[in-house]
Every structure is written in structure tokens, then in C-alpha cells.
């Protein structure tokens, strides 16, 4: 069964987010338990230094969505740090195997290497090899299109960091507005007779604003960092693809079957009339050049449209002389 890269990426993102969320809930529970245990022993007239949990609690209800956004941001950072690396996009061992296959002009073996391991390099190259018999233009267009699709999966993931950098200050601003409403309500109902209530409301304003900025600043920085790293890794992986395909003789390979279609024929799944004559040799000798192992291709005569075998000098139906390039 073939797994699409985006589904694997989504599962990885969800797993990392759940782990980060669980760690955050555990830390919050520990802080709440410590606060509950220490509260009875503290004299009323003694003022202790505020803990991180005290500061978060002062921020009010808006701290919960900010906590969710911060955990999501941390999960994205961890995932991008792990996945956006050149060894994941173009593994050195895979490059070695592909170079060996291309040096022998065994493009079907190169396709098998790409099929065995799903990476940016192998996915792009596999799509090009499957269209090798259609010419240079079709092959390069297929690789360019799939390269764009593969990179868009990671660009979308990185762009979420930019969204977090924009949204989190807005959420903090919402906490600022609600805190100011509470502060003015306190001031309007009780005057300035109880400054502690007014100070608490203003403190909620400052904590929410500061938290939103603390989430947004690293999110924006890491967005540009991972975006530039992604561009660099994609360029290096595409350069490997270009180096492998630069010496391919497209004219000699015109019309050959490649990829899944050839695998089916080599496995005996094709009719005898269209099966390659040297199929057993190709299976027994993986180093055999694919273009030499295929013969007996059936095409249509350009004059009478009758079925003829590629390479014959004359059409058996109308007698037209044929020239093969």
C-alpha cells in the first residue's frame, strides 16, 4: 500500500502536539499542586515571590488559548527541526545506490531504489523515470511538478509558524481589552478606595499582552529560519536529481516502458505479444541496460494504421518502407 507523504506528516504533527500538550498539562498540574500545598503555611502578612504559575493565573482566562497556541508552536518547531534536514530529503546511501544504477544505465533498477524509500529525492526522481520514454520535456516537467508538490507540504507546515506569530499578539490584545474593561469597571464601581483590585486588573492586561508577544517573537524568527533552510535543502536535493539525469540519452530511450508497467511485464503479467523478448535476462541480470532488454514493441503504421513491430523495414499490410530513428 502506498502512503502519501502528507498523511505521514499529519500523523507526526499530531503525535508531537499531543506529547507537548501532555507535558504542558503535567507541568501546570505540578505548579497548581505546589501552590495548594504551600498556601496554608504562608502567613498573611508575609509576601512571597510570585511563581510562574501565579503569573499565569493572573493573566486570566485568555492564558488558556495562549497556552494551546504556544504548545502548537513548540510542536511545529520540533517537527521542522527533525524533518527539514538534507539527510531526510536526500539520504547519502540512496544517492550512492542511484549513482551506481545510473552509471550502468539501469534505469529500472534506479526506479526500484526510488520505490523502496520515500524521500523528497526519490519521489521526484521516480516520477521522472516513469516518463523516461516520453522524452526530455515530459520527464523534466513531471519532476518539476512533483518537486513543487513535495516542497509545498513542508512550506505549508512552516507557514503555520507565521500564522502563530500573527495570531498570538491578537489573542494577547484580546486579553488586554478584557483586562482594561475589568479595570475600568472596578474603578467606576468602587472608586480608588481599593487599589489592589485595580492593580490586579491592570496586571491581567500586562500578563496577557506579554505572553502573546513571547509566543509571537520566536514563532516569527523560526518561521524565517525554517523557510530559508527548506529552500536550501530543496535546492540541494534538486541539484542531485539534475546531476543524475544530465547524461540520460533520451533519444535512445524513446518509447520504452519504465516503472510499474515494466515491473508488471518482467513479472509475467503482460500478454506475450507485448512482453519484452529479453525479460528473463533482465531479471537475472539487474545490470543489463533496460533500453537493450526491450524489443518487440508494437506500433501503428503511419500510412495504413496497421499494427507493425518497431524496427521492421516494411509494413506487412501496405508494403510502405519505414525509417526508424
**Structural domain range at position 233:** 5-36+53-245
Least confident of 38-52, 112-126, 180-194, 210-224: 38-52
How is residue 289 annotated by DSSP?
-
Q: What is the mean pLDDT of residues 304-311?
A: 70
Query: Binning pLDDT at 50, 70 and 90, where does residue 237 land?
Result: very high
pLDDT at residue 285, as a whole number: 43
196 part of a folded domain:
yes
Q: How far apart are CA 159 and CA 219, in angstroms?
A: 10
Q: How far is CA 316 from CA 100, 302, 307, in A?
A: 42, 13, 9
115 part of a folded domain:
yes
Query: Binning pLDDT at 50, 70 and 90, where does residue 68 land?
Result: very high
280 part of a folded domain:
no
Overall number of domains in the chain? 1
- Contact in structure between 181 and 141 (CB atoms under 8 Å): no
Residue 43 reports pLDDT greater than 50: no
Q: What is the mean pLDDT of residues 24-36?
A: 43
Query: Binning pLDDT at 50, 70 and 90, where does residue 33 land?
Result: very low
Looking at per-residue pLDDT, the higher value among 167 and 304 belongs to 167
Q: At what angle do helices 107-116 and 92-103 cross, to 10 degrees?
A: 160
60 part of a folded domain:
yes
- Contact in structure between 310 and 316 (CB atoms under 8 Å): no
Residue 225 reports pLDDT greater than 80: yes
20 part of a folded domain:
yes
321 part of a folded domain:
no
93 part of a folded domain:
yes
62 part of a folded domain:
yes
Diameter of the chain measured on Cα atoms: 113
pLDDT at residue 184, as a whole number: 77
Looking at per-residue pLDDT, the higher value among 188 and 80 belongs to 80
Alpha carbon of residue 36 to chain centroid: 44
pTM: 0.64
Residues 6+ apart with CB under 8 A from 80: 154, 157, 158, 161, 222, 226
Query: Binning pLDDT at 50, 70 and 90, where does residue 15 land?
Result: low
Amino acid at each position: 500500500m502506498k502512503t502519501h507523504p502528507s498523511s505521514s506528516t499529519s500523523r507526526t504533527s499530531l503525535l508531537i502536539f499531543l506529547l507537548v500538550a501532555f507535558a504542558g498539562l503535567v507541568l501546570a498540574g505540578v505548579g497548581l499542586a505546589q501552590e495548594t500545598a504551600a498556601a496554608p503555611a504562608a502567613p498573611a502578612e508575609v509576601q512571597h515571590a510570585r511563581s510562574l504559575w501565579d503569573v499565569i493565573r493572573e493573566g486570566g482566562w485568555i492564558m488558556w488559548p495562549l497556552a494551546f497556541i504556544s504548545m502548537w508552536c513548540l510542536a511545529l518547531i520540533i517537527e521542522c527541526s527533525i524533518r527539514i534536514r538534507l539527510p531526510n530529503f536526500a539520504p547519502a546511501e540512496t544517492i550512492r545506490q542511484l549513482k551506481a544504477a545510473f552509471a550502468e544505465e539501469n534505469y529500472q533498477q534506479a526506479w526500484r531504489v526510488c520505490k523502496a524509500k520515500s524521500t523528497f529525492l526519490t519521489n521526484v526522481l521516480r516520477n521522472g523515470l516513469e516518463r523516461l520514454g516520453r522524452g526530455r520535456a515530459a520527464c523534466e516537467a513531471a519532476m518539476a511538478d512533483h518537486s513543487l508538490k513535495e516542497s509545498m507540504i513542508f512550506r505549508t507546515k512552516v507557514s503555520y509558524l507565521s500564522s502563530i506569530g500573527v495570531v498570538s499578539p491578537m489573542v494577547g490584545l484580546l486579553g488586554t481589552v478584557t483586562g482594561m474593561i475589568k479595570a475600568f469597571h472596578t474603578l467606576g464601581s468602587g472608586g480608588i478606595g481599593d487599589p489592589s483590585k485595580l492593580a490586579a486588573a491592570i496586571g491581567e492586561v500586562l500578563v496577557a499582552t506579554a505572553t502573546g508577544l513571547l509566543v509571537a517573537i520566536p514563532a516569527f524568527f523560526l518561521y524565517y529560519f525554517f523557510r530559508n533552510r527548506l529552500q536550501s535543502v530543496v535546492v540541494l536535493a534538486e541539484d542531485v536529481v539534475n546531476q543524475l539525469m544530465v547524461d540520460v540519452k533520451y533519444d535512445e530511450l524513446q518509447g520504452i516502458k519504465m516503472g510499474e508497467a515494466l515491473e508488471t511485464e518482467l513479472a509475467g503479467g503482460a500478454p506475450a505479444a507485448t512482453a519484452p523478448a529479453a525479460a528473463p535476462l533482465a531479471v537475472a541480470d539487474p545490470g543489463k541496460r533496460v533500453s537493450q532488454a526491450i524489443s518487440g514493441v508494437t506500433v501503428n503504421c503511419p500510412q495504413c494504421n496497421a499494427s507493425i513491430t518497431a524496427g521492421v523495414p516494411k509494413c506487412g499490410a501496405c508494403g510502405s518502407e519505414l525509417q526508424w530513428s
